[in-house]
Amino acid sequence: MDFTHAEHHELLRKSVRDFARVEVAPHARKWDEEERFPKELVPKLAALGLLGIRIPEEYGGSGMDTTSYAICVEEIAKVDGSLALTVASHNGLGTGHILGFGSEAQKKKYLPKAARGEWLAAWALTEPGSGSDAAGLRTTARRDGDGWVIDGTKMFITQGSVGGFCVVLARTNPAVAKQRGITAFVVEHGTKGFSASKHLEKLGCRSSDTCELTFDEVRVGDEQRVGDIDCGFTDTMKILDRGRISIAAMALGLGYGALDMAVTYAKDRKQFGKAIAEFQAIQWMLADSKTELDAASLLTYRAAWLADEGRRYGQEASMAKLFASEASSRAINRALQIHGGYGYTREFAVERHLRDAKICEIGEGTSEVQRMVIAKGMLHDA
Amino acid sequence: MKILVPLKRVSDPDNANKIKVGAGKVETTGLEWKPNPFDEYAVETALRLTENGTNAKARLGEVTVVTFGPKETETTLRAALATGADKAIRVDTTDDAIDGDLLARALKALVEREKPDLVLLGKQQVDGDANQVAQLLAEYLGWPQATFAGQITSEADKALLVSREVDGGSIKLRVTLPAVVSVDLRIVNAVGVTSMHTPPTHKYSDGVRFAALMAIMAAKKKSLTEVKLTDLSPDTALKIKYTGFDLPPARKAGVKIKTVAELVQKLKTEAKVL
């Protein structure tokens, strides 16, 4: 067994780390406070290749694998959870759906623009009334001549207002079991009736764009349908599996980032005549965090490796996301505790990490949903 | 323009493991490595000289990187290939089997084989700090040299106008190619390099470029060849012999002085500066 990363993965990690240190870290606090999506960074993200990580080169992307996707998200999250969420969702959800299940014409139309950053991607599954019960969605798409008419409301949509296109899941057949009557459509910004109706204010990841979307008699042609009619939910589950790896990676980055801050602070901060790092109470917190984050990292990169090997990885992705997100929140809480009163202030980034990390326990399936998926894999899929 | 850039990995100053000194040598087990920063600046300089900055993907020259070291130093070369260098050569040897003079002699042979128009080097390595290779190489080749370059302007591919960093200011030199140039930190400023290919309105970012994801994948397919040191220099005798290594002495604790009289006394008898 070999636990070392491939050379190109190491080079990638270093490059994204350097980029995050120079282009992201100095601004992350300001973006968070202004609660503003950093549009000005998009060309730089595109130039580095971070907006088309898994898109093949023939469509203008970077042609990398799921492990690379996780590495990129982890390294960005070390300094900014919001941007990590942007990169994770743009690559994994919106463009991921076109990449995985779109027609050749759709790939040619959407993927190059996504990779160049001309069109950021949104992905609309969740609704005001359906979250964990994703298949309970009530947005509808009904046949209208050659095309479709979409009606409904979507909730918590990342890149909802800054995206150039959105892949939306809608019910096309109310007569069959709820998972079997759902179809995906790609809707472009500016399409009549499609709007970001509300910008949502959040606890963390505040410079990531989150919106409520309204579809009011939105007419699209059949060429905007992604995948087979009534088969959208199966595709959605596959998108979520891979997306969970990126959320695990985001949690890892936030956790490791905060742990680094805690180590630096503990060595520097003196109380009772010595560095607080010399106290066992602090050492145990650091040791627990390091151990749990490394365990989370092994789970995350195992799931990514399985995905890259073309093997089943849904259960492993859920285990990675469940454990990494909760380990990360614990590690950041300890890091904040080590910082004491200073950690509670916005002078130090650790409080921002704490707020940003919470979404990892909720987004792309709550911890509770992950446990359902893992147990289902053990009890029903064997 | 064809440019040869010698690179070396050095121990990362941010190493979690502190450097240890063993029997007459530095213990390298467990150390983390990074490219010598001045060498990275040399690569960046070479890339800026061989491209139109507004369309860096279309290479307008050839940049070859070379390192001297064991197999694992190929990572340093691959990193340079991922930022845009075209091909790489590893001369198989180890750190303690080479010194600046042997390196310069081997590089001379490599220059005769590769026929570059320009050899660009970092001004020195941040581990040994010898600052010898560029000067020796120019001497052995009989080529013009310009060291500590803070600014370079390429003139119609035949000559370079080089601003050298010296005490109290800078000196401008015009070198006719082929030449040897070593670079200093300021060369990677936004305006450090002016290439005839790049419109003067184009502004680079300060510092070295990041390896783009697509370029990292492309680097896997670029040529990386291995050469034996003895093929370049049959004479591998060293001119520098290290007799021992010591860590800097640990700082002693200071003392608190209560009166001026005591201070003056100590300055006289202990520090002996009065």
Superfamily per CATH, domain B2-247: HUPs (3.40.50.620)
| Domain end point (choices A203, A233, A263) | A233
Mean pLDDT of A218-227: 97
Residue A48 has pLDDT above 80, yes or no: yes
Whether residues A308 and A212 share a domain: the answer is no
**Does B217 contact A53 at a Cβ distance shorter than 8 Å?**
no
Residue B16 has pLDDT above 90, yes or no: no
Taking alpha carbons only, the member of B157, B241, B193 closest to residue B48 is B193
| Weakest-pLDDT range from A93-107, A327-341, A348-362, B45-59 | B45-59
Sign of torsion over alpha carbons B204, B210, B216, B221: positive
Residue A292 has pLDDT above 70, yes or no: yes
Whether residues A248 and A375 share a domain: the answer is yes
The partner residue sitting opposite A57, judged by closest CB among B214, B219, B220, is: B214
Closest chain B C-alpha to A61 CA, distance in angstroms = 7
The partner residue sitting opposite B211, judged by closest CB among A11, A50, A61, is: A11
**What pLDDT is attached to residue B157?**
64
| Domain end point (choices A233, A253, A275) | A233
- SS3 of residue B181 by DSSP: strand
**Does A62 contact B207 at a Cβ distance shorter than 8 Å?**
no
**Does A12 contact B213 at a Cβ distance shorter than 8 Å?**
yes
Question: Which chain B residues in 183-222 lie under 8 Å from chain A, judged by CB atoms?
Answer: 207, 210-217, 219-220
Are the C-beta atoms of residues A280 and A286 closer than 8 Å to each other?
no
Q: Which domain holds residue A188?
A: 122-233
Mean pLDDT of A64-86: 98
Residue B14 has pLDDT above 80, yes or no: no
Which residues in chain B have their CB less than 8 angstroms from residue A47's CB? 212
Whether residues A151 and A83 share a domain: the answer is no
How many CA atoms within 13 Å lie on the side-chain side of A294? Answer: 7
- pTM, to two decimals: 0.91
Mean pLDDT of B155-173: 89
The single residue listed with the structure tokens 């503003």 is A36
Does residue A1 lie within any of the structural domains? no
**What pLDDT is attached to residue B128?**
84
The token pair at B104 is 């310069």
**What pLDDT is attached to residue B251?**
84
Closest chain B C-alpha to A257 CA, distance in angstroms = 16
Contact of B79 with chain A, judged by CB distance below 8 Å, is answered with yes
Dist CA A339 CA A342 (whole Å): 6
Whether residues A327 and A244 share a domain: the answer is yes
For the stretch B107-110, contacts whose Cβ atoms lie closer than 8 Å and that sit 24 or more positions apart, written own/partner, are B107/B4, B107/B6, B107/B66, B107/B133, B107/B137, B107/B232, B108/B137, B108/B140, B108/B141, B109/B231, B109/B232, B109/B233, B110/B4, B110/B66, B110/B227, B110/B232
Mean pLDDT of chain A: 96
The partner residue sitting opposite B210, judged by closest CB among A10, A48, A64, is: A48
| Domain end point (choices A233, A250, A271) | A233
pLDDT per position as a tens digit, A165-179 = 999 999 999 999 999
**Does B78 contact A19 at a Cβ distance shorter than 8 Å?**
no
**Does B212 contact A49 at a Cβ distance shorter than 8 Å?**
yes
What's A180's domain CATH number? 2.40.110.10
**Does A68 contact B211 at a Cβ distance shorter than 8 Å?**
no
Catalytic residue set of A = 364
**Does B213 contact A57 at a Cβ distance shorter than 8 Å?**
no
Residue B24 has pLDDT above 80, yes or no: no
Closest chain B C-alpha to A228 CA, distance in angstroms = 32
The single residue listed with the structure tokens 């009334």 is A129
Mean pLDDT of B196-209: 90
**What pLDDT is attached to residue A381?**
65
Does residue A331 lie within any of the structural domains? yes
- Domain count for chain A: 3
User: Exposure string (b/e) for B228-251, b if CB count within 10 Å is 16 or more?
Assistant: ebeebbeeeeeeeeeeeeeeeeee
The single residue listed with the structure tokens 């008898």 is B269
The token pair at A380 is 């029903």
**What pLDDT is attached to residue A207?**
97
Does residue A2 lie within any of the structural domains? no
**What pLDDT is attached to residue B241?**
86
Contact of B43 with chain A, judged by CB distance below 8 Å, is answered with no
What's A304's domain CATH number? 1.20.140.10
Mean pLDDT of A154-175: 95
Mean pLDDT of B237-266: 88
Whether residues A18 and A38 share a domain: the answer is yes
Whether residues A170 and A69 share a domain: the answer is no
Contact of A12 with chain B, judged by CB distance below 8 Å, is answered with yes
Who has greater pLDDT, A213 or B205?
Answer: A213
Are the C-beta atoms of residues B97 and B229 closer than 8 Å to each other?
yes
Which residues in chain A have their CB less than 8 angstroms from residue B40's CB? none
What's A24's domain CATH number? 1.10.540.10
User: Exposure string (b/e) for A112-123, b if CB count within 10 Å is 16 or more?
Assistant: bbbbbbebbbbb
The single residue listed with the structure tokens 């014409």 is A105
Does residue A375 lie within any of the structural domains? yes
Whether residues A272 and A376 share a domain: the answer is yes
Asked, as a colleague might, if the bond just before B200 is cis with ω within 30 of 0, I would say no
Q: How far is CA B9 from CA A122, A223, B32, B77, in A?
A: 43, 53, 10, 9
Ranges of H-type helices in chain B:
37-49, 74-83, 100-114, 133-141, 213-219, 229-232, 260-269
- SS3 of residue A151 by DSSP: strand
Whether residues A102 and A159 share a domain: the answer is no
**Does A62 contact B217 at a Cβ distance shorter than 8 Å?**
yes
CB contacts < 8 A, A to B, total 56
Taking CA atoms, what residue in A is nearest to B210? Answer: A15
Contact of A25 with chain B, judged by CB distance below 8 Å, is answered with no
Left (φ > 0), alpha (ψ -120 to 50) or beta: where does B203 sit?
Answer: beta
Residue A104 has pLDDT above 80, yes or no: yes
